[in-house]
Amino acid sequence: MNRKNHLRFVPTGTAEAGLATVFQRRLPAVLLTAVGLFAAGSASADAPTVTVEPFLEGLEMPWDMAFLSDGTMFFTEKCKGLSVRLPTGEIKHLLGVADSSGYAVVADDLFCDGQAGVQGIAVDPEFAANRFVYVYSSAKGEGRTYDGFNNIVMRFKVDDAFASISDRTEIIADIGYKAKPTNHPFGGSGAHNGGRLRFSPADGFLYVTTGDNHNGERPQHPTQLGGKVLRVDRDGKAAADNKPPAGFDPRIFTYGHRNPQGISFRPVSNEPYTSEHGPWHNDEVTRLVNGGNAGWDPRPGIAGREDCPDGYCGYSPNQMGAMDPKERSAFMPMTDSKTYPDVMKPAWNNNGLSQGLFGSTWLVGPQWKDWNGRLALGFGGIGIHGTPVGNRIELLDVAADGQSARAETLPWPTFAGRFRSLVQGPDGKLYVADEGNNVIWRVTPN
């Protein structure tokens, strides 16, 4: 397939010519085609062409988006806060982190540090009646669980004019946080927060992804809320039919995760799937099962491992140096099926590579032609130790049983993006938060 046939560039001489020039300048960069866990993907025979255009520019590390049916879009910027774009194009700034300006409300306990900050956003399914939105953020202050820090989920009420928020309620206040630097790659404070929020269209519960915080104990720990997917109601109470193992926090839906930064629900079946960032190997997409173990256990003393730096084996062995990803995976598997035979099996593992897998969403509607029903994945790109950088949007054709997938790459006219969040809007188009270019793109199928 000639991938250029799947792109539309704006002709010179139009108001968008400058943007088109940027796209054309970046196009020669190589786009990598990943392969499925069991079989290589191939280009779809009837794929749409796509038009890519900026929807919001001049942002600062956009992290997530959530839409209302009329096109109103809430969005977060990791080191700034929560804002909303109205259908008219007007932007109103609602919630800012400490020391920010121009926001209706400034929260002195919210902050940005490394990977931490204001992250996920979700709109209540009954927003028209209750005006609730939910925000995942890092917070600090007296009484916080981890040396004065936590990740938290807050609920707010948005006023009728979308000009301000009120009634802050911390529905989950005890999610793990990395308060101090450690001796690891990307080892600063604030690492591995997860941070995605999504409501299931089937059961109406809020699903919350949390990261392992570079803590070896946390993913398999029964009560520490790190390396988990939580499933709660709008007040933060556990869904009554959650099935974690005996002795686990009842809010836990699945456990044994590393850093899931995406969760989305398959059309028709509404099964939840996570997209999860691997260490030096194996980004993974996994169909979740209530009470299931994803199999990440970076503790020393597990699977024959001895001591590891600061009690976390997640990048071992030879954590600062080059090594065959297969060898590293054998020592520290992303999904440890030998130690945990009943783990949830990933549908796809990015051909054994880690390239910064972030958010995900399912493409729905006939406008996507052969891509209708595909899972779109955003990659940030991490080219370390000889791994190709891999900035791209990947499209997975996931088997009906969720146990395998085929992949192809969405033709994309820019190389240097970091595609943090993907959301299909109510107009059927794909919106992509690119923190590398500080833009939210709109991708229109044709």
Which CATH number characterizes residue 224's domain? 2.120.10.30
How many separate domains does the chain show?
1
Asked if pLDDT for residue 88 goes beyond 90, the answer is yes
Separation CA 80–CA 162 (nearest Å):
18
Residue 311 Rama label (left phi>0; alpha psi -120 to 50; beta): left
The radius of gyration computed from the CA coordinates of the chain, to the nearest angstrom, equals 21
- List the one residue out of 265, 208, 219 whose CA is nearest residue 242: 208
Burial-class residue 178 by CB neighbours within 10 Å (0-12, 13-18, 19+): buried
Outline where DSSP puts E strands in 189-316.
197-199, 206-209, 228-232, 252-255, 260-265, 272-276, 284-287
Q: What is the pLDDT of residues 9-34, one digit of tens each?
A: 232 222 322 333 233 223 222 222 22
Separation CA 255–CA 222 (nearest Å):
9
Beta strand 91-96 with 105-106 is parallel
Q: What is the pLDDT of residues 220-253, one digit of tens each?
A: 999 999 999 999 999 999 999 999 999 999 999 9
Residue 150's H or E segment, with its range, is: strand 149-158
Asked if pLDDT for residue 416 goes beyond 90, the answer is no
Separation CA 137–CA 94 (nearest Å):
14
Q: Are 250 and 240 in contact (CB under 8 A)?
A: no
Whether the upstream peptide bond of residue 413 has omega within 30° of 0, thus cis, is: no
Q: Is the dihedral of CA 297, 138, 260, 134 positive or negative?
A: positive
Q: What is the 3-state secondary structure (H, E, C) of 171-216?
A: EEEEECCCCCCCCCCCCCCCCCCCCCEEECCCCCCEEEECCCCCCC
pTM of the model: 0.91
Measure the N-to-C terminal CA separation of the chain; round to a whole number of Å: 17
Q: What is the pLDDT of residues 331-353, one digit of tens each?
A: 999 999 999 999 999 999 999 99
Q: Is the dihedral of CA 303, 304, 309, 311 positive or negative?
A: positive
Asked if pLDDT for residue 176 goes beyond 50, the answer is yes
Q: What are phi and psi of 153, to 5 degrees?
A: -115, 125
Asked if pLDDT for residue 210 goes beyond 90, the answer is yes
The pLDDT value recorded for residue 384 is 80
Q: Using CA atoms of 178, 183, 186, 190 in order, give the dihedral in degrees to the nearest 10.
A: 10
pLDDT category at 414 given cuts 50, 70, 90 is low
Domain containing residue 356? 3-445
DSSP-derived 3-state class of residue 135: strand
Asked if pLDDT for residue 318 goes beyond 80, the answer is yes
Token pair of 155 as six digits: 């609920």
Separation CA 49–CA 368 (nearest Å):
9
